[in-house]
């Protein structure tokens, strides 16, 4: 898997452990041969499950791209903070989302790439970490990103990954994409507070999933 950082001074990537599936079903399998463009009919996406300290009810939503090439997740209260006057529990925030992508009949999809963005204020001596994994319901194939940022850093951050193997949903079946994200900050030896978020004030993308379509 390829990973790139935007604006970070230091980034360390490591493979995470296998994520426990939220539900079990028939496994996703390879798509039929023959690459095609996205279907003309409109797709819809919706959050069907949201759990965690980083996505309290109503603070995460998904929006499909008009051209059906992907969808974005917007977080509105996903911030980890640490330092003086901050509760210890606020230094780690997580969000587990179940996103249902309604696929038109005769088509199947896979996630080709994912991009993550946010803001961070990490003084010298402090660190911040972003971990994200995602998998289709019923699939054992999990894509993961693990990035550590060290101070001094103040501004937008970004990571991205490209799936080395495309995992398609079974034809004729709807599947939930499970997305698990964690933010963790550690003030270390810093004399001031540290924060890291999955929200931005630039553009309209916090997490972007790019889809690959195939006809069944």
Provide the residue ranges of all domains of the chain, joining segments of one domain with +.
2-19+27-215
| Per-residue pLDDT at 86 exceeds 70 | yes
Is the pLDDT score of 174 beyond 70?
A: yes
Averaged pLDDT, 46-63: 92
Joined together, the tokens standing for residue 16 give 């995470």
Q: How confident is residue 205, by pLDDT bands cut at 50, 70 and 90?
A: low
Q: What is the DSSP letter of 54?
A: T
Measuring CA to CA, which residue among 34, 46, 96, 41 is closest to residue 71? 46
CB atoms within 10 A of CB 112: 15
For residue 164, the model assigns a pLDDT of 83
Residue 75 has pLDDT above 50, yes or no: yes
Please check the confidence at residue 25 and state whether its pLDDT lies above 50.
no
Average pLDDT, the chain: 82
* Residues in CB range of 40: below 8 A, 6 or more apart: none
Residue 29 has pLDDT above 60, yes or no: no
Q: Which residue has the tokens 């997305």?
A: 179
Whether the predicted pLDDT of 89 surpasses 50 = yes
**pLDDT band per the 50, 70, 90 thresholds, residue 6:** very low
- Looking at the whole model, is its pTM more than 0.75? yes
């Amino acid at each position: 898997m390829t990973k790139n950082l935007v604006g970070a001074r230091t980034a360390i990537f490591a493979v995470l452990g296998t994520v426990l599936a939220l539900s079990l079903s028939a496994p996703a399998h390879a798509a039929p041969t023959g690459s095609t463009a996205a279907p003309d009919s409109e797709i819809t996406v919706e959050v069907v499950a949201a759990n965690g300290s980083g996505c309290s009810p109503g603070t995460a939503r998904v929006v499909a791209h008009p051209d059906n090439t992907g969808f974005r997740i917007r977080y509105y209260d996903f911030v980890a903070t640490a330092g003086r006057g901050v509760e210890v529990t606020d230094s780690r925030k997580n969000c587990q989302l179940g996103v249902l992508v309604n696929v038109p009949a005769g088509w199947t999809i896979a996630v080709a790439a994912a991009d993550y963005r946010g803001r961070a204020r990490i003084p010298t001596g402090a660190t911040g970490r972003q971990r994200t994994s995602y998998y289709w319901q019923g699939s054992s194939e999990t894509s993961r990103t693990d990035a550590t940022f060290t101070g001094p850093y103040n501004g937008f951050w970004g990571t991205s990954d490209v799936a080395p193997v495309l995992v398609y949903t079974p034809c004729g079946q709807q599947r939930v994409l499970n997305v698990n994200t964690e933010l963790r900050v550690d003030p270390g030896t810093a004399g001031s507070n540290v924060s890291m978020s999955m929200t931005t004030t630039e553009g309209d993308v916090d997490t972007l999933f790019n889809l690959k379509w195939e006809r069944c």
